[in-house]
Chain A
């Protein structure tokens, strides 16, 4: 019995080496296999798991850029006040408003409102820190980079794009993906809010098209929020508001015609239809930005 432990130990140590060596071999085999021909390997014709379909969402900066390209001008007083940030106490509210502020940041950057943009960077950092995401800012020196490029709109746009990328990657790496569609929906509502308000002011037809183009994303956002709502009543109630927007939009005859034809044609809404859509967006935004 006295000798059994050393023998067992020798066996385990030997096994460990064997497994270690085999593991090293398998990794070198793996590298080789990357270059192997896979055309002969049979691949499935159908998706292999129930949860095998997913969707990725665009960035708030891209949505703001699209609106800007279509003639969206800067109107003072549309964006959410930075002073409200400290009143958002739940994680959902913080995530929603982080999205709102990301759109406000992009709107200010694209319209050369540099001081306001700087305020929004600081507000997004503050909300991010409250959600445990300080390292996104601290490890990438975003505030410094922003200050250094404050007079260069193009460079600032790249900084904002990088901020979005680091945020997305942080959420994915830290099992916080639930927050992604919540943040995005806040950003989306804010973009539509600004878009409809500017359209009401200048009736620029291309903005009308951009608003309807954005509506295509809404159903994707709703399905992602539904997936994560579960017993979260606050999130479910908010998602219901988005469903109301979707239901109204999908009831518009021009939208139904476009869907039936499966054409890539742009949909144009009448002023009355846009007014009603805008009212629903204002209602959704109130739910987000009011503490």
Chain B
């Protein structure tokens, strides 16, 4: 009886451990990753931030975020892909996805050695569009996120 109880307790502990390992992360990206980009933002002042979450699927995914800007200001966009188990592609365009011949302003594929990267806007820009592309991946990877922060000069 005692043996049975011990086994059941052991089972309980392992079930908890297994379920815990597949549960959603409490904070994505990690506090450390956020702190790192917050530090990198200076001397720019914080303006806004966005966490975009992805649940991995057998097919690739794309999301677009519009970032309105004010004409006379200069901005810095700082990204971290630390919360992504599969590397995404972050591209910044001058116009949205429905516009043909839009201009590619930034491509994270040019910075493959980094998990944090930045883009500085030029003055007289009204808005930019951040496209985040995630390749097809095993759903066993669960979910991840891309975090970016916008600062103004």
B84: Cβ under 8 A from any A Cβ = yes
Q: Known contacts A20-B21, A161-B45; is A49 also within 8 Å of B61 by CB?
A: yes
Residues of B within 8 A of A48 (CB): 59-63
What separation, in Å, do the CA atoms of A20 and B15 have in the docked complex?
A: 11
* A188 → B minimal CB distance (Å): 12
Q: Known contacts A38-B87, A62-B45, A220-B66; is A44 also within 8 Å of B60 by CB?
A: yes
What separation, in Å, do the CA atoms of A47 and B66 have in the docked complex?
A: 13
Residues of A within 8 A of B32 (CB): none
B48–A57 CB distance below 8 A: yes
B133: Cβ under 8 A from any A Cβ = yes
Q: Categorize the interface residue count of chain A.
A: 35 or more
* A192 → B minimal CB distance (Å): 14
A36: Cβ under 8 A from any B Cβ = yes
Which residue of A has the minimal Cβ distance to B69? Answer: A58
In the complex, which residues 23-67 of chain A have their Cβ closer than 8 Å to any Cβ of chain B?
A: 23, 26-27, 30-31, 33-39, 41-44, 46-49, 52-59, 61-62, 65-66
Residues of A within 8 A of B67 (CB): 55-56
Q: Categorize the interface residue count of chain B.
A: 35 or more
Residues of B within 8 A of A12 (CB): 11, 14
A26-B85, A56-B50 given. 9 additional CB < 8 A pairs?
A: A33-B86, A33-B87, A34-B81, A35-B113, A47-B97, A48-B62, A56-B150, A66-B72, A216-B68
Instruction: List 24 A–B pairs whose Cβ atoms lie within 8 Å, in order of A's numbering.
Output: A9-B11, A13-B14, A20-B17, A27-B85, A34-B86, A34-B87, A35-B112, A38-B87, A38-B112, A42-B60, A42-B135, A43-B89, A53-B65, A55-B67, A56-B67, A58-B68, A58-B70, A59-B46, A65-B152, A66-B70, A161-B46, A161-B47, A165-B49, A264-B126
Give me the interface of A with B, judged by CB distance under 8 Å: 5-6, 9, 12-13, 16, 19-20, 23, 26-27, 30-31, 33-39, 41-44, 46-49, 52-59, 61-62, 65-66, 69, 157-158, 161-162, 164-165, 168-169, 172-173, 213, 216-217, 220, 264, 266
Give me the interface of B with A, judged by CB distance under 8 Å: 3-4, 7, 10-11, 14-15, 17-18, 21-22, 27, 34, 38, 45-52, 59-68, 70-73, 81, 84-87, 89, 96-97, 109, 112-113, 115, 124, 126, 133, 135-136, 140-141, 149-150, 152
